[in-house]
Amino acid sequence: MKVKINNEKCLICGMCASMMNEVFDFNDEGLPEANNENITEDNTQEVKEVMNNCPVGAIEEIHEEE
Ligand code: SF4
């Protein structure tokens, strides 16, 4: 699974980074980024929970086959 942050929707509230810092953290510009290399089969469910908890739905799954 891979995700990306839609920066047009993101409120920069920091919730995703506080829930799951190994996958979501802030870049040098102060914007949240997804570290897809840290998403594994073991934590996919946790990533989905963070996605569902984002207040504006700014965490979007990337469908590589598209
Ligand atoms: S939880 Fe959603 S709105 Fe908040 S920083 Fe993360 S992506 Fe942005």
Q: How far is ligand 1, taken at its centre, from the CA of residue 40, in Å?
A: 21
Alpha-carbon gap, residue 15 to 36, rounded angstroms: 17
Alpha-carbon gap, residue 41 to 19, rounded angstroms: 18
pLDDT at 43: 98
CATH code at 14?
A: 3.30.70.20
CB 59 within 8 A of CB 1: no
What are 12-56's pLDDT values in tens digits? 999 999 999 999 999 999 999 999 999 999 999 999 999 999 999
pLDDT at 66 over 60: no
- Residues spanned by the domain of 33: 2-62
Distances in Å between the alpha carbon of 57 and those of 3, 9, 22, 28, 42?
Answer: 12, 8, 19, 23, 22
Alpha-carbon gap, residue 14 to 6, rounded angstroms: 14
pLDDT at 15: 98
Q: Is the CB of 47 under 6 A from ligand 1?
A: no
Q: Is the CB of 50 under 6 A from ligand 1?
A: no
pLDDT at 64: 77
Number of domains in the chain: 1
